[in-house]
Structure 1
Amino acid sequence: MINLSGIVKTYPGSSGPVHALKGVSIQVNSGEIFGVIGKSGAGKSTLIRCINMLEKPTVGTVVVDGQELSSMSERDLRDARKKIGMIFQHFNLLSSRTVYDNIAFPLELVGWDKKKIEDAVLPLLDLVGLSDKRNQYPSQLSGGQKQRVGIARALASRPKVLLCDEATSALDPQTTQSILELLKDINKRLGLTIVLITHEMQVIKQICDRVAVIENGVIIEQGPVIDLFAKPETTTTREFIRTIINYDLPDIFKDTAFSPVPLTDSHLIVRVSFLGKAAKEPIIASLIRHCNVDVSILFGNIDHIQNIPFGTLIIEVTGDTTSMQSALNYLEARELGVEVIGYVKRDALAIS
Structure 2
Amino acid sequence: MISLNGIEKVYHSQSGQIHALRGINLEVKAGEIFGVIGKSGAGKSTLIRCINRLEQPTAGTVIVDGQDITKLTENELRESRKKIGMIFQHFNLLSSRTVFDNIAFPLELAGYAKQDIEDTVVRLLKLVGLSDKRDQYPSQLSGGQKQRVGIARALANRPKVLLCDEATSALDPQTTKSILELLKDINRELKLTIVLITHEMHVIKEICDQVAVMENGLIIEQGPILDIFTQPQAAITQEFIGTIMNHDLPDHFKDMPLSRTPLPDSKLLLRLSFIGDAAGEPIIAGMIRRFDIDVSILYGNMDHIRNVSFGTLIVELSGNQDAIHRALEYTKAHEVGSEVIGYVPRHAYAAV
Aligned to 1:202: 202
Residues 99 and 336 from structure 1, CA distance in 2 versus in 1: closer, same or farther, beyond 3 angstroms?
same
State the distance in 1 between where 2:139 and 2:53 align: 31
The number of residues matched between the two structures is 352
State the distance in 1 between where 2:118 and 2:151 align: 17
CA contact 1:270–1:342 (8 Å) conserved in 2: yes
Displacement after TM superposition at 1:288 (Å)? 4.2
Residues 257 and 9 from structure 1, CA distance in 2 versus in 1: closer, same or farther, beyond 3 angstroms?
farther
Residues 54 and 122 from structure 1, CA distance in 2 versus in 1: closer, same or farther, beyond 3 angstroms?
same
Task: Tell me the SS of whatever aligns to 2:259.
Answer: coil
State which drifts further: 141-150 or 331-340.
331-340
State the distance in 1 between where 2:89 and 2:322 align: 55
Alignment of 1:182-197 (within 5 A): 182-197=182-197
State the distance in 2 between where 1:264 and 1:73 align: 74
Aligned amino acid, residue 226 of structure 1: L
Displacement after TM superposition at 1:291 (Å)? 5.5
CA contact 1:186–1:192 (8 Å) conserved in 2: yes
CA contact 1:292–1:323 (8 Å) conserved in 2: yes
State the distance in 2 between where 1:43 and 1:338 align: 35
State the distance in 1 between where 2:313 and 2:131 align: 48
CA contact 1:293–1:319 (8 Å) conserved in 2: yes
Aligned to 1:46: 46
Aligned to 1:81: 81
CA contact 1:230–1:337 (8 Å) conserved in 2: no
Aligned to 1:276: 276
Residues 76 and 290 from structure 1, CA distance in 2 versus in 1: closer, same or farther, beyond 3 angstroms?
farther
Task: Tell me the SS of whatever aligns to 1:22.
Answer: strand
Aligned to 1:142: 142
Aligned to 2:99: 99
TM-score by length of 1: 0.94
Residues 19 and 337 from structure 1, CA distance in 2 versus in 1: closer, same or farther, beyond 3 angstroms?
farther
Q: Which runs of 5+ in 2 are unaligned?
A: none
Task: Tell me the SS of whatever aligns to 1:17.
Answer: strand
State the distance in 1 between where 2:274 and 2:316 align: 16
CA contact 1:253–1:350 (8 Å) conserved in 2: no
State which drifts further: 95-104 or 297-306.
297-306
CA contact 1:93–1:138 (8 Å) conserved in 2: yes
Aligned to 1:128: 128
Residues 38 and 164 from structure 1, CA distance in 2 versus in 1: closer, same or farther, beyond 3 angstroms?
same
Aligned to 2:345: 345
CA contact 1:252–1:351 (8 Å) conserved in 2: no
TM-score by length of 2: 0.94
Aligned amino acid, residue 92 of structure 2: N
Q: Which runs of 5+ in 1 are unaligned?
A: none
Q: State the percentage of identical aligned residues.
A: 69
Displacement after TM superposition at 1:159 (Å)? 0.3
CA contact 1:252–1:350 (8 Å) conserved in 2: no
Displacement after TM superposition at 1:293 (Å)? 4.3
4+ aligned runs moved over 6 Å, structure 1: none
Displacement after TM superposition at 1:305 (Å)? 2.2
Aligned to 1:308: 308
